[in-house]
Protein backbone atom coordinates (compact mmCIF):
# COMPACT_ATOMS: atom_id res chain seq x y z
CA UNK A 1 0.00 0.00 0.00
CA UNK A 2 3.02 2.28 -0.54
CA UNK A 3 2.17 5.79 -1.79
CA UNK A 4 -1.53 5.22 -1.18
CA UNK A 5 -3.76 7.20 1.16
CA UNK A 6 -5.23 4.38 3.23
CA UNK A 7 -4.62 5.85 6.67
CA UNK A 8 -8.24 5.13 7.62
CA UNK A 9 -7.45 1.39 7.60
CA UNK A 10 -6.33 0.64 11.16
CA UNK A 11 -6.78 -3.03 11.99
CA UNK A 12 -5.88 -5.61 9.34
CA UNK A 13 -6.85 -9.26 9.76
CA UNK A 14 -5.38 -11.63 7.15
CA UNK A 15 -6.29 -15.28 6.61
CA UNK A 16 -5.41 -18.04 4.18
CA UNK A 17 -9.03 -19.22 4.09
CA UNK A 18 -12.30 -18.20 5.73
CA UNK A 19 -15.91 -19.21 5.31
CA UNK A 20 -16.70 -15.54 4.54
CA UNK A 21 -14.83 -12.26 5.09
CA UNK A 22 -18.20 -10.51 5.29
CA UNK A 23 -19.50 -12.73 8.07
CA UNK A 24 -16.37 -12.26 10.17
CA UNK A 25 -16.30 -8.49 9.59
CA UNK A 26 -19.98 -8.29 10.56
CA UNK A 27 -19.27 -10.22 13.74
CA UNK A 28 -16.40 -7.88 14.58
CA UNK A 29 -18.56 -4.82 13.86
CA UNK A 30 -21.29 -6.08 16.16
CA UNK A 31 -18.66 -6.59 18.85
CA UNK A 32 -17.56 -2.97 18.54
CA UNK A 33 -14.67 -3.16 16.05
CA UNK A 34 -13.31 0.26 15.14
CA UNK A 35 -13.77 1.95 11.81
CA UNK A 36 -11.11 0.79 9.39
CA UNK A 37 -11.12 -2.82 10.56
CA UNK A 38 -10.23 -4.91 7.50
CA UNK A 39 -10.68 -8.65 6.94
CA UNK A 40 -8.83 -10.24 4.00
CA UNK A 41 -8.70 -13.86 2.94
CA UNK A 42 -6.84 -15.62 0.14
CA UNK A 43 -9.91 -17.82 -0.38
CA UNK A 44 -13.44 -18.29 0.95
CA UNK A 45 -15.29 -21.57 1.22
CA UNK A 46 -18.71 -20.02 1.93
CA UNK A 47 -18.44 -16.66 0.21
CA UNK A 48 -21.74 -14.87 -0.22
CA UNK A 49 -23.22 -12.03 -2.17
CA UNK A 50 -26.49 -10.20 -1.76
CA UNK A 51 -29.52 -12.11 -0.45
CA UNK A 52 -27.22 -14.92 0.67
CA UNK A 53 -26.28 -15.96 -2.88
CA UNK A 54 -23.14 -18.11 -2.92
CA UNK A 55 -19.98 -16.63 -4.40
CA UNK A 56 -17.19 -18.65 -6.01
CA UNK A 57 -14.06 -17.29 -4.34
CA UNK A 58 -10.94 -19.43 -4.84
CA UNK A 59 -7.32 -18.65 -4.11
CA UNK A 60 -6.05 -16.15 -6.66
CA UNK A 61 -9.02 -13.81 -6.37
CA UNK A 62 -9.34 -10.75 -4.16
CA UNK A 63 -11.74 -11.14 -1.22
CA UNK A 64 -12.05 -8.61 1.60
CA UNK A 65 -14.47 -6.75 3.86
CA UNK A 66 -14.13 -3.65 6.02
CA UNK A 67 -15.96 -1.83 8.78
CA UNK A 68 -17.10 1.80 8.58
CA UNK A 69 -18.80 3.81 11.30
CA UNK A 70 -20.31 6.95 9.74
CA UNK A 71 -21.09 9.44 12.51
CA UNK A 72 -24.59 10.20 11.22
CA UNK A 73 -25.32 6.71 9.91
CA UNK A 74 -26.36 5.96 6.33
CA UNK A 75 -29.16 3.48 6.90
CA UNK A 76 -31.45 5.36 4.51
CA UNK A 77 -28.72 5.61 1.89
CA UNK A 78 -27.28 2.10 1.78
CA UNK A 79 -28.32 1.63 -1.87
CA UNK A 80 -26.53 4.83 -2.84
CA UNK A 81 -23.49 4.03 -0.70
CA UNK A 82 -23.27 0.59 -2.30
CA UNK A 83 -23.08 2.27 -5.72
CA UNK A 84 -20.40 4.59 -4.36
CA UNK A 85 -18.31 1.58 -3.40
CA UNK A 86 -18.91 0.14 -6.86
CA UNK A 87 -17.61 3.36 -8.37
CA UNK A 88 -14.52 3.13 -6.16
CA UNK A 89 -13.89 -0.41 -7.43
CA UNK A 90 -14.14 0.46 -11.12
CA UNK A 91 -11.92 3.52 -10.65
CA UNK A 92 -9.29 1.30 -9.03
CA UNK A 93 -9.57 -1.44 -11.67
CA UNK A 94 -9.08 1.18 -14.37
CA UNK A 95 -5.96 2.56 -12.68
CA UNK A 96 -4.34 -0.78 -11.88
CA UNK A 97 -5.47 -3.06 -14.72
CA UNK A 98 -6.26 -0.50 -17.40
CA UNK A 99 -9.69 -2.02 -17.93
CA UNK A 100 -12.97 -0.12 -18.07
CA UNK A 101 -15.50 -1.98 -15.93
CA UNK A 102 -19.12 -0.99 -15.32
CA UNK A 103 -21.63 -1.27 -12.47
CA UNK A 104 -24.64 -3.49 -13.00
CA UNK A 105 -27.19 -2.14 -10.53
CA UNK A 106 -27.21 -2.76 -7.66
CA UNK A 107 -23.95 -4.53 -6.87
CA UNK A 108 -22.19 -6.33 -9.73
CA UNK A 109 -19.00 -5.25 -11.47
CA UNK A 110 -19.04 -6.21 -15.15
CA UNK A 111 -16.48 -6.26 -17.92
CA UNK A 112 -17.63 -7.04 -21.43
CA UNK A 113 -21.04 -7.92 -20.03
CA UNK A 114 -19.57 -10.63 -17.79
CA UNK A 115 -19.26 -10.60 -14.01
CA UNK A 116 -15.84 -9.52 -12.83
CA UNK A 117 -16.79 -8.90 -9.22
CA UNK A 118 -19.42 -7.96 -6.73
CA UNK A 119 -20.14 -5.83 -3.69
CA UNK A 120 -22.23 -6.32 -0.58
CA UNK A 121 -23.01 -3.71 2.08
CA UNK A 122 -24.67 -4.52 5.40
CA UNK A 123 -25.68 -1.77 7.83
CA UNK A 124 -26.82 -1.88 11.42
CA UNK A 125 -26.17 -0.93 15.02
CA UNK A 126 -23.75 -2.89 17.19
CA UNK A 127 -23.54 -3.51 20.91
CA UNK A 128 -21.32 -0.47 21.24
CA UNK A 129 -20.86 2.75 19.35
CA UNK A 130 -22.68 4.26 16.37
CA UNK A 131 -24.23 2.57 13.38
CA UNK A 132 -21.87 0.52 11.29
CA UNK A 133 -21.59 -0.36 7.63
CA UNK A 134 -19.71 -3.49 6.62
CA UNK A 135 -18.76 -3.57 2.96
CA UNK A 136 -17.52 -6.69 1.21
CA UNK A 137 -15.77 -6.76 -2.14
CA UNK A 138 -14.91 -9.74 -4.30
CA UNK A 139 -12.95 -9.47 -7.56
CA UNK A 140 -12.01 -12.28 -9.93
CA UNK A 141 -8.43 -11.15 -10.33
CA UNK A 142 -5.89 -13.93 -10.92
CA UNK A 143 -8.40 -16.73 -11.44
CA UNK A 144 -7.78 -18.91 -14.53
CA UNK A 145 -10.73 -18.95 -16.93
CA UNK A 146 -10.95 -22.74 -16.75
CA UNK A 147 -11.17 -22.63 -12.94
CA UNK A 148 -14.73 -21.30 -12.97
CA UNK A 149 -17.44 -23.91 -12.37
CA UNK A 150 -19.25 -24.89 -15.59
CA UNK A 151 -22.48 -23.20 -14.50
CA UNK A 152 -20.87 -19.74 -14.40
CA UNK A 153 -18.11 -20.13 -16.99
CA UNK A 154 -20.11 -18.27 -19.65
CA UNK A 155 -21.13 -15.40 -17.38
CA UNK A 156 -18.00 -14.77 -15.29
CA UNK A 157 -14.66 -13.26 -16.23
CA UNK A 158 -11.35 -12.63 -14.48
CA UNK A 159 -8.62 -10.05 -14.98
CA UNK A 160 -6.23 -12.92 -15.71
CA UNK A 161 -8.62 -14.22 -18.35
CA UNK A 162 -8.50 -10.78 -19.93
CA UNK A 163 -4.72 -10.85 -19.95
CA UNK A 164 -4.44 -8.39 -17.07
CA UNK A 165 -3.13 -10.27 -14.05
CA UNK A 166 -2.55 -7.91 -11.12
CA UNK A 167 -0.94 -7.73 -7.70
CA UNK A 168 -3.90 -8.30 -5.39
CA UNK A 169 -2.39 -6.20 -2.61
CA UNK A 170 -1.86 -3.28 -4.97
CA UNK A 171 -5.42 -3.48 -6.29
CA UNK A 172 -6.89 -3.77 -2.80
CA UNK A 173 -4.85 -0.77 -1.69
CA UNK A 174 -6.14 1.28 -4.59
CA UNK A 175 -9.75 0.22 -3.92
CA UNK A 176 -9.36 1.19 -0.26
CA UNK A 177 -7.87 4.54 -1.25
CA UNK A 178 -10.72 5.26 -3.68
CA UNK A 179 -13.26 4.10 -1.09
CA UNK A 180 -11.77 6.43 1.51
CA UNK A 181 -12.10 9.38 -0.86
CA UNK A 182 -15.66 8.46 -1.77
CA UNK A 183 -16.56 7.93 1.89
CA UNK A 184 -15.35 11.40 2.87
CA UNK A 185 -17.41 12.98 0.10
CA UNK A 186 -20.46 10.83 0.81
CA UNK A 187 -20.54 11.49 4.55
CA UNK A 188 -20.01 15.22 4.02
CA UNK A 189 -22.12 15.96 0.94
CA UNK A 190 -24.18 12.83 0.24
CA UNK A 191 -24.58 10.96 -3.02
CA UNK A 192 -25.13 13.94 -5.33
CA UNK A 193 -21.44 14.76 -6.04
CA UNK A 194 -20.81 11.30 -7.50
CA UNK A 195 -24.25 10.60 -8.98
CA UNK A 196 -23.37 11.73 -12.50
CA UNK A 197 -20.29 9.49 -12.60
CA UNK A 198 -22.29 6.56 -11.22
CA UNK A 199 -24.88 7.01 -13.98
CA UNK A 200 -22.17 7.18 -16.63
CA UNK A 201 -20.65 3.99 -15.24
CA UNK A 202 -23.94 2.07 -14.92
CA UNK A 203 -24.34 -0.84 -17.32
CA UNK A 204 -28.05 -1.17 -16.48
CA UNK A 205 -29.35 2.22 -17.61
CA UNK A 206 -31.05 1.98 -20.99
CA UNK A 207 -31.39 -1.81 -20.84
CA UNK A 208 -34.61 -3.82 -20.97
CA UNK A 209 -34.66 -5.79 -17.73
CA UNK A 210 -36.64 -8.02 -15.43
CA UNK A 211 -36.26 -7.47 -11.69
CA UNK A 212 -37.04 -10.24 -9.23
CA UNK A 213 -37.79 -9.38 -5.61
CA UNK A 214 -38.35 -5.69 -6.32
CA UNK A 215 -39.87 -4.90 -2.93
CA UNK A 216 -43.63 -4.38 -3.04
CA UNK A 217 -43.55 -4.67 -6.82
CA UNK A 218 -42.52 -8.32 -6.75
CA UNK A 219 -41.29 -9.24 -10.21
CA UNK A 220 -41.42 -6.39 -12.70
CA UNK A 221 -40.20 -5.84 -16.27
CA UNK A 222 -39.40 -2.66 -18.13
CA UNK A 223 -36.55 -0.40 -19.17
CA UNK A 224 -34.06 1.05 -16.71
CA UNK A 225 -34.01 4.80 -17.30
CA UNK A 226 -32.13 6.41 -14.41
CA UNK A 227 -30.49 6.19 -10.99
CA UNK A 228 -32.20 8.29 -8.32
CA UNK A 229 -30.58 10.58 -5.76
CA UNK A 230 -31.19 7.82 -3.21
CA UNK A 231 -29.44 5.18 -5.30
CA UNK A 232 -32.64 3.55 -6.48
CA UNK A 233 -33.12 2.22 -10.00
CA UNK A 234 -35.75 4.15 -11.92
CA UNK A 235 -37.68 1.80 -14.17
CA UNK A 236 -40.30 2.49 -16.82
CA UNK A 237 -42.42 -0.64 -16.67
CA UNK A 238 -44.00 -2.38 -19.63
CA UNK A 239 -47.29 -0.91 -18.40
CA UNK A 240 -45.88 2.61 -18.76
CA UNK A 241 -45.54 3.31 -15.03
CA UNK A 242 -42.35 4.92 -13.76
CA UNK A 243 -41.23 3.33 -10.50
CA UNK A 244 -38.19 3.43 -8.23
CA UNK A 245 -36.80 0.23 -6.73
CA UNK A 246 -34.09 -0.22 -4.12
CA UNK A 247 -33.50 -3.96 -4.17
CA UNK A 248 -33.87 -6.96 -6.41
CA UNK A 249 -32.05 -9.30 -8.75
CA UNK A 250 -31.74 -7.85 -12.24
CA UNK A 251 -31.89 -9.97 -15.39
CA UNK A 252 -31.24 -8.55 -18.85
CA UNK A 253 -33.94 -9.45 -21.39
Domains, the chain, in order of start with CATH, read 11-200 (3.30.930.10), 208-252 (2.30.30.100)
Please write the tens of the pLDDT for every residue from 208-225: 999 999 888 999 999 999
R_g (Cα) of the chain, nearest Å: 17
Mean pLDDT along residues 138-166: 95
| Of 73, 84, 78, 82, residue with least CA distance to 196 | 84
C-alpha span between 57 and 141 (Å, rounded): 10
At 4, the pLDDT band (50, 70, 90 cuts) reads confident
Q: Tell me the pTM.
A: 0.93
User: Is the Cβ–Cβ distance between 251 and 83 less than 8 Å?
Assistant: no
C-alpha span between 253 and 251 (Å, rounded): 6
CA angle 181/113/185 to nearest 5° reads 15
Q: Does residue 1 register a pLDDT over 50?
A: no
Please write the tens of the pLDDT for every residue from 118-138: 999 998 875 655 589 999 999
Q: How far is CA 103 from CA 89, 106, 116, in A?
A: 9, 8, 10
Dihedral sign, Cα of residue 145, residue 150, residue 151, residue 154: positive
At 98, the pLDDT band (50, 70, 90 cuts) reads very high
User: Is the Cβ–Cβ distance between 48 and 113 less than 8 Å?
Assistant: no
Average pLDDT for the chain: 92
Please write the tens of the pLDDT for every residue from 24-75: 999 999 999 999 999 999 999 976 555 555 668 899 999 999 999 987 667 5
Predicted pLDDT at 104: 98
Mean pLDDT along residues 163-178: 98
Amino acid sequence: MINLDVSWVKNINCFQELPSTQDLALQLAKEGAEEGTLVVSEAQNSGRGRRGNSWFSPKGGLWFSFVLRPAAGIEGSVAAFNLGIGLSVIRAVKKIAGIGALIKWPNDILCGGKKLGGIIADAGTGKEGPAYVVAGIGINTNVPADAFPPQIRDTAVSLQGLGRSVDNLELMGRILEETGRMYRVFTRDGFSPILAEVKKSCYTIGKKIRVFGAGNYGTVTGRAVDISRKGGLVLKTDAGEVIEIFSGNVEMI
